[in-house]
Amino acid sequence: MNYVNDITDVEKTMDSGSGFKGYKTFIVNGAIALLPLIDFLANSGEIITAISGPQGAAIMSLIGLINIALRWVTVTPIFKGE
């Protein structure tokens, strides 16, 4: 018995459904993109500015949005072929 192949087959079956692929990636990157906005509304941006400098909030939001766009375009997990 090859349990690795059995598990891979189950994962493929679960991923092939009509479910929303990559939802965890969207949640994490959405939080990264929104964190500067939340900090700005709650603390006038003091926390992120203190940690990462004046351009840190814009960079964090940009990185989160780029990752969301990449997840939307790509369908395979990282380091795995199609």
In a domain, 61, yes or no: yes
In a domain, 8, yes or no: no
Q: How far apart are CA 9 and CA 3, in angstroms?
A: 10
Q: How far apart are CA 7 and CA 38, in angstroms?
A: 40
In a domain, 62, yes or no: yes
Per residue in 36-77, pLDDT (tens digit) is 888 888 988 888 889 888 888 888 889 988 888 888 787 776
Domain count, the chain: 1
In a domain, 66, yes or no: yes
Q: What is the pTM of this model?
A: 0.58
In a domain, 18, yes or no: no
Q: Which two tokens stand for residue 62?
A: 């940009």
